[in-house]
């Protein structure tokens, strides 16, 4: 018997074919018929002409910790996501030897903007090895399919402890242990390896995240330990590492690299820089070497306080104070000579830095005192202009007045639709970088796909709905080797999104206090979504998540190799 029939939908299949009005049937989690369906079913939905597409494939998320206490993976399924890749940037929570668990989550809390108390209260440490973690995911059952990256920084921490952030060169025996852990992860179903060389990735107390100080030779060794040629992907926050530096590894091991870096995001101060990186990647792809750029479809946002001012950590004024306590920082921030150093840094930023001195992109997000409420949702540049003061002084004085608890939101990169559109359309680009599950306290970009459909498809028309849906579904799935996902086709897994293209989008940010221990986070809600289905089971009904003892998502552990991934561009 058929399990589900969706009748009268306008089907956009994610493969680039023209929309068509049809019914769709699902049996045992797969699509079994498309057309006019007369069979009866256990569940029937009248779509009434709404658009039915594949579910969104989000290849850059950080649900590694949240999934241990929240299998709904809120808010991503409500925002149309049916498949998520976790462990990005190399910042996961496995392997998890007990001695380093708190160190791992302390660093994670800073680099990914997570509530440390919520992590300590929420994570159920019923795993230690990568195999244990995958088994845990299978037992719990998430509301979306999950693929897991092995994490360079986490693996380095498991092997080296505190020294992982202090010593660049691993000892031979340490490198051997890291290689063994990578090989073990791949043997147990990892989709690939995550790593970071970002100048802006700092952990607890301002220490560098472990992989960021490792020589490229260490990354090369770990990529080489992943198994046979062509097996797995590398997802790297590449920082200032250029395509020319990464291409030899892509060529040597036959594995595609997916770069996320501010260097390749649109910056009106240097509008040609990002395009040059994209073009260099496209040239590598034509040579048969997979180099791609993860490009967000929203402005890149960072939430921070001056107690953990990580968007500024790549500026030299912060070098000696990253590990300071709030009390020590307050003394520094009052010092006119230190302010002068930071002011000079802001006037002379280096390429690859998040903050380029653009105070017109730093907003006061949350003020603690009622007297300061007048500053909320205003940019520092505008406040400074109105008060006849320097924006740096505005930020520091406001922070000092509130014991460094004032929250700021920086929208530093990928601002300017015409420039961003050119990158989104580029053949070397992959629409990604939602960071869903991270930066929880003041921002939420998990609704990137719905924003893409509302803004870039409907409002601006940079993509028609056929190509827009393809770029969110089969395009990332195929590049990452994810089998039978991101498409509406006979035999494919029934990961589906039912929505109204005339209204689809995301709500403004909304703050909740629903993390473990009452920790706060920010979410956005869907607009125009009428249903989301993972493996044929409804995970969002347009208003809420249905309750299941175990979610319907699969733990993905078998992937296509890289053969043919680059042929579409190479043939152009």
pLDDT, tens digit, 9 for 90 and up, residues 91-118:
999 999 999 999 999 999 988 989 999 9
Does residue 172 form part of some domain? Answer: yes
As beta bridge partners, residue 9 has 22
With 0-12 CB in 10 A as exposed, 13-18 as middle and 19+ as buried, what is 508?
Answer: exposed
Query: 201 near 353, Cβ under 8 Å?
Result: no
Query: How far is residue 133's CA from residue 522's CA, in Å, rounded to a whole number?
Result: 27
CA 246 to each of CA 60, 67, 183, 292, 351: distance values in angstroms, whole numbers, following the listed order: 19, 32, 21, 11, 18
Do 376 and 429 fall within a single domain? no
Q: How many CA atoms lie within 13 A of 328 on its CB side?
A: 9
- Residue 471 covered by a domain: yes
Quote the pLDDT of residue 350: 82
Q: Which of 535, 435, 541, 551 is nearest to 492 (CA)?
A: 535
Confidence check: pLDDT of 412 > 90: no
Cα–Cα distances (Å) from 389 to 304, 339, 393, 410, in that order, read 22, 14, 7, 19
pTM: 0.91
On whether both 293 and 308 belong to a single domain, the answer is no
| CA pair distance 470, 476, nearest whole angstrom | 9
Neighbours of 172 (CB within 10 A): 8
Residues 243 and 161 in one domain: yes
By the 8 A CB rule, do 14 and 497 touch?
Answer: no
Q: How many separate domains does the chain show?
A: 2
Query: Which of 133, 104, 135 minimizes the C-alpha distance to 120?
Result: 104
Residue 7 CB coordination number (10 Å)? 16
Distance between CA atoms of residues 351 and 569, nearest Å: 29
398 with 365: CB under 8 angstroms?
Answer: no
In a domain, 560, yes or no: no
Confidence of residue 569 (pLDDT cuts 50, 70, 90): very low
User: What share of the chain in percent tops pLDDT 90?
Assistant: 84
Nearest CA to 70 out of 130, 140, 147, 149 is that of 140
404 and 462 belong to one structural domain: no
Least Cα distance to 150 among 188, 97, 197 occurs for: 188
Coil, helix or strand at residue 513: coil
DSSP string, 74-142: TTTGGGTEEEEEE-GGG----S--GGGHHHHHHHHHHHTT--HHHHHHH------SHHHHHHHHHHH--
Give the pLDDT mean for 537-564: 93
CATH assignment at residue 445: 3.20.20.140
Q: What pLDDT does 173 receive?
A: 98
pLDDT in tens, 15-48: 999 999 999 999 999 999 999 998 888 999 999 9
The answer to whether residue 2 is domain-embedded is no
Provide the residue range defining the domain that includes 307.
303-410
What average pLDDT is seen over the chain? 94
Are 256 and 151 within one domain? yes
Q: What is the pLDDT of residues 153-208, one digit of tens each?
A: 999 999 999 999 999 999 999 999 999 999 999 999 999 999 999 988 989 888 99
The whole-number pLDDT of residue 80 equals 98
Residue 238 lies in a domain: yes
C-alpha span between 430 and 59 (Å, rounded): 9
Residue 287 and residue 316 in one domain: no
Q: Which residue has the higher pLDDT, 399 or 353?
A: 399
Which pLDDT value is given to residue 230?
A: 93
Section 476-481 average pLDDT: 98
Question: Does residue 382 sit within a domain?
Answer: yes
- Which pLDDT band holds residue 442 (cuts at 50, 70, 90)? low
Gap between the Cα atoms of 160 and 176, Å rounded: 12
pLDDT at 571: 41
Same-domain pairing of 363 and 435: no
pLDDT category at 396 given cuts 50, 70, 90 is very high
Is there a single domain that holds both residue 199 and residue 257? yes
Best CA proximity match to 538, nearest among 507, 477, 497: 497
- Per-residue pLDDT for 555 more than 80? yes
Residues 148 and 68 in one domain: yes
Q: Residue 547 in contact with residue 71, Cβ under 8 Å?
A: no
Question: Do 322 and 231 share a structural domain?
Answer: no
| In contact, 372 and 406? CB cutoff 8 Å | yes
Integer-rounded Cα radius of gyration of the chain: 23
Does residue 564 surpass a pLDDT of 70?
Answer: no
Model pLDDT, residue 433: 93
Question: Could you give phi then psi for residue 160, rounded to 5 degrees?
Answer: -110, -10
Answer with the one of 410, 430, 455 that is the final residue of a domain: 410
Residue 108 near residue 204 (C-beta atoms within 8 A):
no
322 occurs within a structural domain = yes
Say if residue 572's pLDDT is above 50: no
User: How many whole angstroms separate alpha carbon 367 and alpha carbon 569?
Assistant: 49
Give the tens place of pLDDT for each residue, 245-279: 999 999 999 999 999 998 999 988 788 999 999 99
Q: What is the pLDDT of residue 566?
A: 47
Question: Is 547 part of a structural domain of the chain?
Answer: no
Q: Is the pLDDT of residue 510 over 90?
A: no
Query: Residues 489-506: pLDDT tens digits?
Result: 999 999 999 999 999 999
Are 142 and 287 found together in one domain?
Answer: yes
pLDDT at 570 over 50: no
327 and 277 housed in the same domain: no
Instruction: Output b/e per residue, 243-281; b: 16+ Cβ within 10 A.
Output: beebbebbeebbbbbbbbbbbbbbbeeeeeebeebbebb
pLDDT-based confidence at residue 69 (cuts at 50, 70, 90): very high
């Amino acid at each position: 018997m058929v399990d589900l029939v969706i009748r009268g939908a306008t089907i956009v299949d994610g493969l680039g074919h023209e929309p068509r009005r049809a019914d769709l049937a699902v049996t045992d989690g797969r699509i079994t018929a498309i057309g006019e369906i007369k069979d009866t079913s256990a569940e029937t939905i009248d779509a009434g002409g709404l658009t039915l597409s594949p579910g969104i494939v989000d290849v850059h998320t950080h649900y590694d910790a949240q999934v241990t206490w929240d299998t709904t993976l809120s808010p991503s399924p409500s925002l149309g996501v049916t498949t998520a890749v976790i462990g990005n940037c190399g910042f996961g929570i496995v392997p998890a030897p007990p001695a380093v668990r708190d160190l791992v989550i302390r660093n994670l809390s800073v680099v990914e903007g997570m509530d440390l108390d919520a992590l300590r209260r929420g994570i159920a440490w019923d795993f230690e090895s990568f195999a244990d973690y995958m088994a845990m995911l299978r037992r719990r059952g998430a509301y979306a399919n999950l693929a897991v990256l092995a994490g360079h920084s986490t693996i380095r921490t498991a092997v080296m402890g505190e020294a992982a952030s202090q010593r660049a060169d691993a000892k031979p025996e340490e490198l051997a242990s890291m290689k063994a852990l990578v090989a073990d992860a791949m043997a147990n179903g990892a989709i690939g390896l995550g790593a970071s060389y970002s100048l802006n990735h700092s952990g607890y107390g301002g220490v560098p995240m472990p992989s960021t100080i490792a020589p490229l030779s260490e990354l090369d060794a770990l990529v080489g330990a992943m198994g046979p040629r062509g097996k797995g992907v590398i997802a790297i926050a590449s920082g200032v590492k250029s395509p020319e530096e990464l291409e030899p590894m892509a060529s040597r091991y036959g594995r595609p690299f997916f770069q996320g870096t501010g260097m390749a995001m649109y910056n009106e101060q240097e509008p040609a820089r990002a395009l040059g990186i994209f073009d260099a990647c496209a040239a590598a792809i034509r040579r048969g070497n997979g180099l791609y750029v993860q490009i967000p479809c929203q402005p890149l946002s960072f939430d921070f306080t001056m107690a953990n001012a990580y968007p500024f950590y790549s500026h030299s004024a912060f070098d000696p104070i990253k590990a300071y306590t709030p009390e020590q920082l307050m003394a520094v921030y009052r010092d006119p000579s230190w302010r002068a150093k930071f002011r000079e840094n802001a006037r002379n930023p280096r390429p690859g830095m998040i903050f380029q001195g653009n105070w017109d992109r730093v907003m006061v997000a949350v003020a603690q005192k009622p007297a300061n409420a007048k500053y909320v949702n205003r940019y520092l540049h505008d406040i400074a202009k109105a008060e006849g003061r320097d924006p740096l002084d505005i930020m520091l004085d406001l922070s000092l007045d509130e014991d460094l608890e004032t929250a700021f939101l920086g929208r530093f990169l990928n601002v300017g639709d015409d420039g961003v559109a050119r990158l989104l359309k580029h053949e070397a680009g992959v629409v990604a970088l939602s960071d869903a599950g991270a930066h929880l306290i003041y921002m939420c970009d998990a609704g990137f796909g719905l924003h893409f459909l509302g803004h870039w498809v409907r409002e601006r028309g940079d993509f028609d709905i056929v190509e827009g849906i393809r770029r969110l579904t089969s395009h990332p799935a195929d590049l990452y080797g994810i089998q039978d996902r991101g498409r509406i086709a006979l035999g494919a897994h029934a990961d589906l999104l039912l929505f109204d293209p005339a209204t689809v989008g995301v709500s403004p940010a909304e703050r909740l206090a629903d993390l473990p221990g009452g920790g706060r986070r920010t979410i956005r809600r869907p607009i125009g979504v009428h249903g989301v289905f993972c493996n044929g089971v409804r995970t969002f009904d347009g208003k809420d998540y249905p309750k299941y003892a175990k979610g319907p998502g699969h733990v993905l552990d078998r992937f296509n190799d890289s053969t043919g991934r680059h042929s579409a561009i190479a043939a152009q």
